[in-house]
Chains A and B, each alone.
Chain A
Amino acid sequence: MTRLSRRAIRTALVGVLLAGLLATSGRAAGNRSFLAGLKHHTTLASTVPANGDQNPYAVVVSPVTRGRLVKNHVLVSNFNNAGNLQGLGTTLVEIDPATGSLRLFASVPQHLPGCPGGVGLTTAMTILAGGWVVAGSLPSRDGTTATKGAGCLLVFDADGRLADVWTDPRIDGPWGNMAAIDRGDSATLFVSNTGFGVGAPPAQGDAAPVRRATVLRVDLAIPRDARPKLQNITVVADGFGEAPDRGVFIVGPTGIALGAGGAIYVSDALGNRIVRIPDALTRTTSAGTGTEITRSGLLERPLALATAPNGNLLVTNALNGQVVEIDPEAKRQIAAQWIDVDRAQQPPGSGDLFGLAVRPQGDGFYYVEDDVNTLVLAH
C-alpha cells in the first residue's frame, strides 16, 4: 500500500470518526454551553497585508503543514481593496496565532482570466489536507453589486500559487463559509451562491429579496501530486432569499456547517433562521430551503457557521456583535455572547462580524472584526 493510500484511508477514518462524534456529541451536548466557558477576547493581529486590502471575511485554520501553510495557523481572506471598495479584495493572509505575525499567503490579479467579473474574495474558503486552498470570489468593479460578476472558485496550492479557476453555470457569487469533507483522494465541499438575479442596490430603502440563492455540493477528485479536479456540482438546496445592500454589498445565506447523517446546516440570513438540509452528502435533487431548526430569538441576521467541540453550532450575527450557540439536535438556541461591543455602531458591533473558526485545541474560536481589520481569539 502506498503512503498516499494509507494517508487517504487514515484521513477517511478520521473523517468518519469525526462525523460519528458530531452525530453523538450533538445529542449528548444537552444544554451545556460552549460559549459560557469563554471569558477572554484577545486581539491577535491585524489582517491587512502590504497591499492594503481590508474587510476580512473567511477564517480557516490550516489542518496541515505543507508548502507555506503551517498547521494551526489561520488563513483569512480580504473582501475589500485598499480603497475599501467591496468585492475587490484579492489577498489571503496567514496569521500565526501564537505570535500575531502576518504574512501574505496568496495574491491574485484583480482581473483574472477565467473568473467572470474579476476577483473579490469572500467568506467561502477551505483548506484541504493536501494543502490545496479553495476560495470563492464574488467580484465587483465599483464596490457595489451594480457591477458584480458571477465570480468563481479559485484553487491555490500550498505555496499560495493559483492552480486553477473553476466556473460553472451553477456558480454565481460563491459567498458563505464552506463546509468540507476531506477523504484525502477526494473531497466534498458545500458552498452557497448569492449572486443569481441580484442587481444594483436601490438608492434608498431595502431591495426586495430575490429567492434564488443556492447551496451547492462540489465533489472533487484529488489525484496524487496533482491539483484537485472538479467532478460534480449538485444543487442540494435553493430558494433562499438574497438581496443587494448599499452598506454590506449583499445579504444571503452565509454559513454552512456539517451535520449528522450527511446533513448540513445553513444560515438563512434574510429569513433570520438556521435550516437543515437532509442527506446533503448524497442527494441528487434540491431540498429547497430544507427544514427550519431555529429562527429569530437571539439570531439577528445569522452569518458564518461553525461547529463547536460539544457539537453545537456557532453563528455570528450581522446586526449586533453577538455569536449565538445552537443545539441543532434539540433545535434550541443555547446562548449568545457579546464578542464585539463597539458602540460606534448601534446595536454595538453591528456589521462587524463575519467569519469564525473553532480552534483545533477546542478551547475557543477565532473571529474577525471587519470594521477594524483584526483577528480575535475568544477563549
Chain B
Amino acid sequence: MSGVTRLLAAGLATAPLCLPSVARAQTDSTNLLGPIWGLRPWLGQYGVSLGLSEISELFGNATGGMHQGAAYDGLTEMSVGIDLGRAIGLPGGTINASALQIHGRSLSADNLDNFDTISGIEADRATRLWELWYDQQFADGAVDLKLGQQSLDQEYITSANLSVFANTMFGWPALPSYDLYAGGPAYPLASPGIRLRGTAGPWTALAGVYDDNPAGGRFNDDPQTADASGARFNLDTAALFIAEIDFAPGAPALGDTTTNPNTPSAPAALPSLYKLGAWFDTASFPDQRSDDQGLPLASPLSSGRSRLLRHDVSVYGVADQMIWRPDPAGPRALNLFARLMGAPGDRNLVDFSANLGLVLKAPLPGRDNDTLGFAGGLTRIGRYALDYDRDVQRLDPGSYAPLRSAESYLELTYQYQATGWLLIQPDLQYIFMPGAGIANPDEPDTRIANEFVLGVRTGIVF
C-alpha cells in the first residue's frame, strides 16, 4: 500500500534527490483550478489550504495471471490543512485532515492474484477518512510532535525515488503489508498514535507509537470492510512501535556558519540519503505452520486456528544515492536506490522484501520535469509458510500444491509532466512467479503464469 500523497508529490511537485538544482518550474501553474477565483488565497489568509487530486489509471495483463483483461481504478484525495500560526496565532502548529474516494476495480485481485499488486492506489471501493492529525513544531522547526490518526507510509520507510513507480511494493513494502494486522496503518488505513521527530544537520530521527490494527479485527479480517469509513479510531488493540534514523551525508543544518572562506568550497558530493529503522509490535501473531494444538495447519485434524506467537519485529534499510549528474546546476541526474526489510520466518508470511532500481530525472532534452524509472523487487515467503506447503504435499499427496518461494517483479515507467498539474505515466510491469508460485485457481493443476502488465496512469492536481 503506497503513499498516494507521496506519489503525487513525487510526480507533480518536488522530490528529494530527483530535483533539478535550480530549474524549479515556476513557469507553469501547479493547480488546474489555480486560485479557484480567489478562494484559495482568501483561505490562505487564515492559514487554510485545500488539496484535491485525482489519480486515474487503466492497467491490463496481456499474458499470465488467472485470466487476461483490463481494469480501471482511480483515487480522489481531498485534504484540508490549517496553519495555526496564521489561524489562531500558534506558530508552528498544523492541523491536517484528508479523505479518500476510491473507485474502479483492482486488476491485481481480479486477474493477477499476485503479492506485489501492480498499483499503490488499488483498494476496496469506498469513501473514507484517511489522516487526521495535529503537528506542533518547536525550536525553529528542529523538533516536531505529531498527534492523531496517521498513515505510516507517509513518513516511514520512504524514498523519493521509490515513489516514482506504480507498483504497490515500491511504496509501503510487501513485508509489513502481509505481516502486520490489517497490513499496518498505511494507505488506505491509518491509526491513532503519536510521533516525535528531530533534525540536526544531516541527521533526522523519528519515532512513534500507534495502535497496530486500524480496524481492530482479527488477523485475517478485511480491515477495509471492518472500518469502511476510516473513523473507528481504534485504540483497543496492541501497540506498534517504530523508529527510524535518516542520514544525509554533508547536509547542512540551519545556521551552520563557515568562517574559513579562503578555501574555495570543495565540489559538493552527489547527494545521498540513508535510512535505518525497525518496528516492534506487542500483539500476538499467527504461527505460519502450526495450530493451537501443535498440529500442522495442513493436517485434516487441525483446529484451523494458528498457534499464536508473542510479538513481532522487523528491521529495514533504505538507500538513495545520486550516481551521475553531468551539470551540478542542471536538472539531469541518475539516482540509485535500494531497500531491504526482514522479519522472523515463523510468524510472518513474508520474511524478506527488497527493492532495487534506477531513476533518471530529465531524461530527454527540454523535459526537465520528466522522470524515467527502472526497478525490480522481490517478496520472499517465510520458512514456516514454506513448511506449511511441504506439509500440504506430504499430507495430501494427490493434490497439486506447489511449494511457494518468492515473487519478483520488474517495472519500467515514464512520468511525463505534461503541465504543472497534469502527469501522464505509461507503465510496464512483469511479475515472475505470481503469488510466489501458487496454483492457478482457474486451472488448479498449474501455477499462475508470469504476468506482463501494461497501463497508463494520470494524475491531476486541481
Question: A interface vs B, CB < 8 Å?
Answer: 33, 35-36, 38-43, 45-46, 48-52, 55, 80, 82-86, 100, 102, 142-144, 203-205, 245-249, 296-298, 300, 318-319, 321, 324, 332-341, 343-348, 350-351, 371
A370's nearest neighbour on chain B, judged by CB, is B26
Question: Which residues of B sit under 8 angstroms from A337, Cβ to Cβ?
Answer: 255-258
> What are 21 inter-chain pairs, A to B, with CB distance below 8 A?
A46-B44, A52-B44, A82-B35, A85-B26, A100-B85, A100-B91, A143-B26, A143-B27, A143-B28, A247-B25, A296-B264, A319-B21, A324-B261, A333-B261, A335-B258, A335-B261, A340-B254, A341-B252, A341-B254, A345-B22, A345-B24
Q: Are A36 and B365 in contact (CB under 8 A)?
A: no
In the docked arrangement, what's the CA distance between A340 and B265, Å?
A: 18
Stretch at the interface among B9-17, B220-228, B294-302: B9-17
Question: Which residues of A sit under 8 angstroms from B271, Cβ to Cβ?
Answer: 343, 346-347
Q: Are A298 and B258 in contact (CB under 8 A)?
A: yes
Q: CB within 8 Å of A: which of B118-141?
A: 140-141
Say which residue of B140, B265, B420 sits within 8 Å of A298 (CB atoms).
Answer: B265
Question: Which residues of B sit under 8 angstroms from A48, Cβ to Cβ?
Answer: 41, 44
A334-B252 contact given A84-B420, A143-B27, A203-B366, CB 8 Å threshold: no
Q: Are B23 and A246 in contact (CB under 8 A)?
A: yes
Q: Are B255 and A49 in contact (CB under 8 A)?
A: no
Counting CB contacts under 8 A, is B313 at the interface? Answer: no
In the docked arrangement, what's the CA distance between A334 and B261, Å?
A: 6
Counting CB contacts under 8 A, is B441 at the interface? Answer: no
Other A-B pairs, 8, CB within 8 Å; known A36-B257, A48-B44: A50-B41, A83-B34, A297-B262, A321-B252, A344-B19, A347-B268, A350-B22, A351-B23
Mostly, the B contact residues are loop
Q: Are A319 and B40 in contact (CB under 8 A)?
A: no
Q: Which 7 A-B pairs have the closest CB atoms?
A: A247-B23, A333-B261, A52-B41, A52-B35, A351-B22, A83-B29, A143-B27
In the docked arrangement, what's the CA distance between A219 and B86, Å?
A: 41
Q: Are B15 and A344 in contact (CB under 8 A)?
A: yes
Question: Which residues of A sit under 8 angstroms from B255, Cβ to Cβ?
Answer: 38-41, 337-339
Q: Closest CB-CB distance, A336 to chain B, in whole Å?
A: 5
A341-B253 contact given A41-B140, A86-B26, CB 8 Å threshold: yes
Counting CB contacts under 8 A, is B248 at the interface? Answer: yes
Q: Are B258 and A336 in contact (CB under 8 A)?
A: yes
B31's nearest neighbour on chain A, judged by CB, is A83
Say which residue of A335, A343, A371 sits within 8 Å of B251 (CB atoms).
Answer: A343
Q: Closest CB-CB distance, B74 to chain A, in whole Å?
A: 26
Say which residue of B17, B40, B44, B86 sits within 8 Å of A346 (CB atoms).
Answer: B17
Question: B interface vs A, CB < 8 Å?
Answer: 14-17, 19-30, 34-35, 38, 40-42, 44-45, 83, 85-86, 91, 140-141, 248, 251-259, 261-262, 264-265, 268, 271, 273, 322, 328-329, 333, 365-366, 368, 420
Q: Are B259 and A346 in contact (CB under 8 A)?
A: no
Question: Which residues of A sit under 8 angstroms from B257, Cβ to Cβ?
Answer: 33, 35-36, 335-338
In the docked arrangement, what's the CA distance between A301 and B45, Å?
A: 33
In the docked arrangement, what's the CA distance between A82 and B365, Å?
A: 28
In the docked arrangement, what's the CA distance between A326 and B360, Å?
A: 38
Q: Are B26 and A247 in contact (CB under 8 A)?
A: yes
Question: Which residues of B sit under 8 angstroms from A318, Cβ to Cβ?
Answer: 22
In the docked arrangement, what's the CA distance between A35 and B256, Å?
A: 10
In the docked arrangement, what's the CA distance between A351 and B330, Å?
A: 12
For B26, B254, B273, which residue has the most chain A Cβ atoms within 10 angstroms? Answer: B26
A49-B27 contact given A38-B255, A204-B366, A341-B252, CB 8 Å threshold: no
In the docked arrangement, what's the CA distance between A161 and B432, Å?
A: 69
Q: Closest CB-CB distance, A261 to chain B, in whole Å?
A: 25
A203-B29 contact given A335-B258, A345-B19, CB 8 Å threshold: no
Q: Are B251 and A341 in contact (CB under 8 A)?
A: yes
Q: Are B253 and A52 in contact (CB under 8 A)?
A: no
Q: Closest CB-CB distance, A322 to chain B, in whole Å?
A: 8
A247-B42 contact given A143-B26, A333-B262, A347-B268, CB 8 Å threshold: no
Q: Are A345 and B21 in contact (CB under 8 A)?
A: yes
Q: Closest CB-CB distance, A89 to chain B, in whole Å?
A: 11
Say which residue of A85, A248, A338 sits within 8 Å of B254 (CB atoms).
Answer: A338
In the docked arrangement, what's the CA distance between A39 and B91, Å?
A: 19
Question: Which residues of A sit under 8 angstroms from B42, Cβ to Cβ?
Answer: 50
In the docked arrangement, what's the CA distance between A341 and B271, Å?
A: 13
Q: Are A343 and B368 in contact (CB under 8 A)?
A: no
Question: Which residues of B sit under 8 angstroms from A33, Cβ to Cβ?
Answer: 257, 259
Question: Which residues of A sit under 8 angstroms from B16, Cβ to Cβ?
Answer: 343-344, 346
